[in-house]
Amino acid sequence: MDFQVSARKWRPQKFSELIGQEHIVRTLSNAIAMDRVSHAFLFSGTRGVGKTTTARILARVLNCETGPTVDPCGTCSLCREITAGNCIDVQEIDGASNNGVAEARDLIDNVQYATSSARYKIYIIDEVHMLSKSAFNALLKTLEEPPPRVVFIFATTELIKIPETILSRCQCFEFKPLSNAQITKQLALICGQEKIQIDEKGLVEISKIGAGSMRDAQSLLDQVIAYSGKKVDTDSVEAVLGIVGGTTLELFAQRLIQREPSELITVVQDVVNQGKDLHLFCQSVMEYLRNLLMVKVSSSPETLLNAQTCNLEILKKQAKEFHADELQQMFTILSRAEMEMKNTSLPQMVFEMAILKLTETRPFKKIDDLIRKINQAESNVQSIRPSPPPPSLSPPSSPPRSAADSFDPAAWIKIRQEVSRQRPDFDHYLDKCQPLAPNEKEIQLAFADSFTLEMVKTLENRKFIEDVVRSVSGHEVRVTLKLDAAADSPAAASEPKKKTTNDGGENRQKTESEIIQDALDIFGGIVVK
Ligand SMILES: [Zn+2]
């Protein structure tokens, strides 16, 4: 078997072959040229961006028989030994499994001995953040007064866990995540050399999922090649990576234009049934919305689109159907959902709820309209409550029956502001509830659907909302969570509220809820219904 994984086979062997870390290469090269090599380096950055690779190159740079040189020969015995990982003077240590003080002491003892054949004795410690506190302490003295010709190279994905005392004794380099373009270019190069036929669309998809990590992208490429052989088409890329293709996204956007909640949910279910990754689908929809926005705001959007899988003509046509601020609202809703999906055992439900919310977005209203409406709302509140008391949870006694249960809009606005300040993720649950105050001591939150009610009912959420209500009202209040009897129908949960135009002739309850909504429009910043 001569199969070698791409990440290993195509590992850069020289500084000039490193991708995306030019700032580091330049600094290191200058240090070598001026013979001012630090005795301790710390390389930090996300996985698969070249930290260990750079450490090995640096080992060759320092120890090559023709060196120290920024361009090691690659053929001398030391270069070859270092590349093969069996050079006795270049030790690679896994910090995760050698993290105790005993291992650190062994290392320090070993440091004292002269090199056997190389110029420098080099210790590459990977995952160095895993060392125990006492192991770090044991290392400190050696780092302070290292024996001559000893170089430590530490690598970590978690810079924050490295003690300040260590950081201050190292020359630190931060490795950047690679851009999709950099990864795509490298994958194209590998495929060219390996005689793999694949189009750019496929490479772009792989790069995107690699998310800045060259190593991850290369192993995804290996998987795709293992699946389809030397001829790779976009379908097999999508199948292996579990991603949803452009056609599905176009269809999804079309359903969004038509505001068809049930059709949108059907698309989601199809995606799940095909075994695709819902989380990736959410990200793809976000990207699609972004592309629609770019098409909307730019006269030459071609260069701004970040997925070659999009059909520009269709994008242009669909973009006309959305307002720019609607697209932004939708993007915000999905980015919230995307975060929540990571922390729940029910990601599909979270995603579906978010999608239903997408169909309820509306363009922002003009600020003049809002001011006019809020003035109107204030005078309406005055008429319900002739002498307004300081913010309290319920209106004064003897109001009309329908208003008896209603809730002071000012207090509700304060509650919403406090909720969105403390827990932006929680805020949208309250979009689906009607606040009621049957008496001074109680507030009832009536939710439009049972899913939202259940989410809010969890112990943690329940305590949170109770605390906020108490802190806003300033006294003990009982918070009751219930299902809104009026809204408790499947239609209410799955369809946007269709506002009719007969604004004036509704009953008192309707007027009140509209007042709250108008106020929310201004103070909450986003019009969601
Ligand atoms: Zn050499």
Question: At which residue do the structure tokens 């060259």 appear?
Answer: 214
> Taking 60 as the threshold, does the pLDDT of residue 324 lie above it?
yes
**Domain locations in the chain?**
6-174, 180-241, 246-358, 367-491+508-523
Q: What is the dihedral of CA 394, 400, 401, 406, to 10 degrees?
A: -30
Cα of 85 vs centre of ligand 1, distance in Å, is 14
Q: What is the pLDDT of residue 253?
A: 92
> Taking 90 as the threshold, does the pLDDT of residue 488 lie above it?
no
Cα of 525 vs centre of ligand 1, distance in Å, is 63
pLDDT digits (tens, 9 = 90+) for 105-126: 888 888 888 888 889 999 999 9
Cα of 159 vs centre of ligand 1, distance in Å, is 32
Cα of 73 vs centre of ligand 1, distance in Å, is 4
Q: What is the pLDDT of residue 491?
A: 43
Given phi > 0 = left and psi -120 to 50 = alpha, else beta, which region is 35? left
> Taking 90 as the threshold, does the pLDDT of residue 27 lie above it?
yes
**Using CA atoms, how far apart are residues 135 and 240, in angstroms rounded to an integer?**
43
Q: What is the pLDDT of residue 310?
A: 67
Cα of 60 vs centre of ligand 1, distance in Å, is 7
Q: What is the pLDDT of residue 28?
A: 92
Pairing of the two strands 433-439 and 442-447: antiparallel
Picking from 423, 415, 377, the residue whose alpha carbon sits closest to that of residue 393 is 415
pLDDT digits (tens, 9 = 90+) for 304-322: 776 555 678 888 999 999 9
Pairing of the two strands 197-198 and 442-447: unpaired
Cα of 65 vs centre of ligand 1, distance in Å, is 5
Q: Which residue has the higher pLDDT, 388 or 414?
A: 414
In this prediction, residues 65-90 reach a mean pLDDT of: 91
Cα of 243 vs centre of ligand 1, distance in Å, is 44
pTM of the full structure? 0.59
**Rounded to whole angstroms, what are the CA distances from 119 to 79, 89, 248, 522?**
12, 9, 59, 70
pLDDT digits (tens, 9 = 90+) for 261-305: 898 999 899 888 888 889 989 998 999 999 999 988 888 877 777
Cα of 403 vs centre of ligand 1, distance in Å, is 86
Cα of 115 vs centre of ligand 1, distance in Å, is 17
Cα of 436 vs centre of ligand 1, distance in Å, is 78
> Taking 60 as the threshold, does the pLDDT of residue 504 lie above it?
no
> Taking 70 as the threshold, does the pLDDT of residue 366 lie above it?
no
* Mean pLDDT, rounded, of the chain: 82
Q: Which residue has the higher pLDDT, 267 or 369?
A: 267
CATH architecture of 6-174: 3-Layer(aba) Sandwich (3.40)
Cα of 353 vs centre of ligand 1, distance in Å, is 60
Cα of 191 vs centre of ligand 1, distance in Å, is 28
Instruction: Show Cβ contacts of residue 345 under 8 Å, excluding neighbours closer than 6 positions.
Output: none
Cα of 79 vs centre of ligand 1, distance in Å, is 4
CATH topology of domain 246-358: Zinc Finger, Delta Prime; domain 3 (1.20.272)
Q: What is the pLDDT of residue 61?
A: 94
Q: Which CATH number fits domain 180-241: 1.10.8.60, 1.10.10.10, 1.10.4160.10, 2.60.40.1260?
A: 1.10.8.60
Alpha helices (H) in 4-132, listed in sequence order:
6-9, 22-33, 51-63, 77-84, 101-111
In this prediction, residues 137-143 reach a mean pLDDT of: 88
Cα of 54 vs centre of ligand 1, distance in Å, is 16
In this prediction, residues 433-440 reach a mean pLDDT of: 81
Cα of 77 vs centre of ligand 1, distance in Å, is 7
Q: Band the pLDDT of 492: cuts 50, 70, 90.
A: very low
Question: 367-491+508-523, superfamily in CATH?
Answer: DnaA, N-terminal domain (3.30.300.180)
Among 301-315, 382-396, 508-522, the range scoring the smallest mean pLDDT is: 382-396
In this prediction, residues 189-205 reach a mean pLDDT of: 89
Instruction: Show Cβ contacts of residue 400 under 8 Å, excluding neighbours closer than 6 positions.
Output: 508
Cα of 13 vs centre of ligand 1, distance in Å, is 11
